[in-house]
Amino acid sequence: MVQIITGLSTGGAEMMLLKLLERLDPVRFSPQVISLTSLGEIGPRIQVLGIPVEALGMHPGRLPNPITFACLVQRLKTLKPDIVQTWMYHADLVGGLAARITRVTAIAWNIRHSNLSRDQTKWTTRAVAHLCAKASRWLPDRIVCNSQTARDIHIGIGYDPNRFTILPNGFDLSRFYPDPASRHAVRLELWLPDNAPLIGLIARFDPQKNHQGFFEAASQLHRRQPAVHFLLAGSGIADSNSVIREWVQRCGIAEVTHLLGLRQDIPRLTAALDVASSSSYGEAFPNVIGEAMACGVPCVVTDVGDSAYIVGDTGRVVSPGDMKGLAAAWAQLLTLPDSERRALGQRARARIAEHFEIGAVVKQYEAFYEELAGLSRRGKP
């Protein structure tokens, strides 16, 4: 089996692929990975598992030139996989076409996006998504979505409704768990007292994540509760980002905002939070929310993708773009007695364990691949 992905920088799709490959039966499925762009941060972590990974060097955000596409076709001819699964729009289109040309019998796309609005999505992404919609009736055999909302949105723009399978993201409860020691250590690192309230947003710098809105909400809360601090981490989330720096300064929250950039200790940072948040305009199935819940941290999220379903009754949900509501929901959780907020966090972790534990999700993927292998052995139905 070959997994083709647009790139292997840190992101939700890339992390889900890593978690899947860490647990997938290597004998039954013999996976290999091809990145259309670079190895990023995740490629070497997959290679450590003993899984071959190669990168074709395509420029991010562009369709490949003919030489790159020919290289992908040649690799698939050499590897002769029974199954090709592609991840994200560019890989769905390019990898799907290469697999079809090389007569791979079973082809599955994997969609990880939900919001395709003009304001929040690059035109190239929207263009490729619409090309995929037209090709969805003949190019893939199956289309994986990680949320019901994403499925419905893509059917709405023309994707074949009969090819979808929903497989949720999964979370490692042995890696993400409540940890009082992390709470103390992170506050020590940030020069904060142990009782300092801490709200977190873990997300790369991207218009969909709406960092500007997060800072607006933080400013509103800061005026009412100046002791609250805000922790942000992710690619591009650093003082060196002039856009981020300007937003923070304009909102008057520089002294209580901690921009940590791309970190490798996300479980530690997450477990240190009092409240985790998502201010996004668009998500399908946000990993960071499930990870926070697994750490016993209650969440406040915008109602995008399956965020409200993931949180259930263990946190708070506000409308996308409602930053006043986001700030009010933060304040509500922070004013709960400690015992009540801990109980809410315990319910959040229990919800992840019941519905989204990574081992159970990998079994769903394995069953899905067995079905695809059946297509490969007997030919298309």
Whether residue 100 is contained in a domain is answered as yes
Residue 33 and residue 146 in one domain? yes
Question: What is the C-alpha separation between 102 and 90, in angstroms, rounded?
Answer: 18
Report if residue 333 sits inside a domain. yes
Query: pTM of whole model > 0.75?
Result: yes
Under a CB-based contact definition with an 8 Å cutoff, are residues 12 and 19 in contact?
no
Predicted local distance difference test score (pLDDT) of residue 12: 86
Domain co-membership, 31 together with 145: yes
* 60 and 153 both lie in a single domain: yes
Among residues 186, 185, 106, which one has the least CA distance to residue 139?
106
Do 22 and 48 lie in one domain? The reply is yes
Q: List the structure tokens of 303.
A: 């109602």
| DSSP conformation class of 55 | E
| Number of domains present in the structure of the chain | 2
Residues 255 and 222 in one domain: yes
- Residue 300 forms beta bridges with which residues? 277, 316
Average pLDDT, integer, range 142-165: 93
The Cα-based distances of 271 to 18, 85, 145, 178 in angstroms read 21, 33, 28, 6
User: Bridge-partner residues for 301, per DSSP?
Assistant: 278, 317
Kindly calculate the radius of gyration of the chain based on its CA atoms and give it in whole angstroms: 21
The CA distance from 216 to 208, in Å, is 16
Range scoring the smallest mean pLDDT among 30-44, 109-123, 347-361:
109-123
**Range of 294's domain?**
180-355
Q: What is the SS3 assignment for 53?
A: strand
Are 196 and 202 a contacting pair, CB within 8 Å? no
What pLDDT score does 322 carry? 97
Q: Are residues 72 and 96 located together in one domain of the fold?
A: yes
Place of tokens 């218009």: 207
- Could you tell me if residue 175 is inside a domain? no
Q: What is the CATH number of the domain that holds 164?
A: 3.40.50.2000
Q: Is residue 205 part of a domain?
A: yes
- 240 and 251 housed in the same domain: yes
Same domain flag for 24 and 129: yes
pLDDT per residue as tens digits for the range 222-241 = 999 999 999 999 999 999 99
Q: Is the domain of 307 the same as that of 199? A: yes
192-218 pLDDT tens trace: 999 999 999 999 999 889 999 999 999
pLDDT at 120: 63
Q: How far is CA 271 from its chain centroid?
A: 18
pLDDT over 60 at 377, yes or no: no
Distance set, CA 363 to CA 45, 66, 232, 338 (Å): 22, 37, 33, 37
Residues 294 and 322 in one domain: yes
Distance, CA of 250 to CA of 345 (rounded, Å): 33
Residue 143 is assigned to a structural domain of this protein: yes
Q: Comparing C-alpha atoms, which of 167, 220, 217 is closest to residue 320?
A: 217
Same domain, 345 and 198: yes
Domain co-membership, 255 together with 313: yes
Residue 84 placed within a domain: yes
Is residue 94, in this structure, part of any structural domain at all?
Answer: yes
Cα 91 → chain centroid: 16
